[in-house]
Amino acid sequence: MKSLRIAILGTGNVAWHLASTFENQGHVINHVYDRDINKAEKFALDYFNASTSDSLDLSEINAHLFIMALSDDSIEEVAQTLQLPSGSTLVHTSGTVPLNSLGYAQTHNIGVFYPLQTFSKGKSLDFTDIPICIEGESDETIELLRNLANSISHSVHLLNSNQRKVIHLSAVFACNFTNHMFTISKGILESNDLDFDILKPLIVETLNKSFDISPENAQTGPAKRGDMETLDSQFESLSNDPSVAEIYQLVSQNIIDFYQD
């Protein structure tokens, strides 16, 4: 595709990863906005062609695309005061904020460019396999975002705001909750002078198996086997932490019910 001139609003992890990936693929970051001008200037050091600002009047910035990589709860407010050149396109990068939160912006070319990944500061990620979920109000916007997404990833998905919400909810279970299960597991081990490291090979192989044969076919453990003796004894052993015991009981029961159906 042709090279795009891109303005980035925000200087956090998502902004950092997107901007460097875009430039690596031949696009040009030509402006960086942050309400803290020092952050904008520091960020812009990596981008030879980038001007900076802490003002939301960006009507003089000659960019094809303005990307809001801001926190979810500031997107709608910023969109309301933002001034853009006519004919430009505005997108946000959030998994949860609906497209119409950009409806107040002074442009009709609005969309979403949501990379479905967790980003850490300073740790480069290869975008090739990262799903990019796009949404646009017009066919032209969709086409622009699809081309941009294809230029950095081979996994591009046109999703509406409701589908994006569903993905976000499913990620809460598959990522946030699994990570908290690790935290609980680590706590149980450490209160018995055991190290979480001992579980890592098992966790990795369980994940491999789950991906290979699908999670519902990979389930093991006392609840799957209906081994009531082990379930009772493990539940008892959690009596010093009632809320963890309740999680144990509820998830085990859900597994039992799932495999009885």
120, 124, 138, 147: which one contacts its own copies (CB under 8 A)? Answer: 120
**Of the candidate residues 83, 150, 161, 230, the single one contacting its own copies (CB under 8 A):** 230
Answer for which of 3, 36, 57, 180 binds its own copies (CB under 8 A) is 180
Per-residue string for binding with its own copies, 123-152, x by CB under 8 A?
A: --x---xxx---------------------
Angle between helices 37-44 and 13-24 (to 10 degrees): 30
Number of residues lying near its own copies (CB under 8 A): 82
Q: How far is the CB of 188 from its own copies (least distance, A)?
A: 4
Q: Which helix (H) or strand (E) holds 28?
A: strand 28-33
Nearest approach in angstroms of CB 140 to its own copies is: 25
From candidates 211, 226, 228, 232, binder to its own copies by CB under 8 A:
211
Instruction: By CB under 8 A, tell whether 158 contacts its own copies.
Output: no
Which lies closer to its own copies via its Cβ, residue 139 or residue 216?
216
**Alpha-carbon distance 112 to 99, whole Å?**
6
Q: Which residue among 1, 45, 172, 228 contacts its own copies (CB under 8 A)? A: 172
Q: Note whether 100 binds its own copies by CB under 8 A.
A: no
CA–CA separation, 94 and 171 (whole Å): 13
C-alpha–C-alpha distance, residues 64 and 140, integer Å: 12
CB-based contact 112:135 (threshold 8 Å): yes
Tokens of 48: 């030879």
Indicate the residue among 12 and 131 with the shorter CB distance to its own copies.
Answer: 131
- DSSP letter, residue 83: B
User: Which stretch, 20-28, 60-68, 135-143, 204-212, contacts its own copies (CB under 8 A)?
Assistant: 204-212
Task: Using the structure block, give the residue that is written with the tokens 């005061």.
Answer: 81
Q: Which of 207, 190, 181, 152 is nearest to 24 (CA)?
A: 152
Cα(12)–Cα(39) distance, rounded to whole angstroms? 9
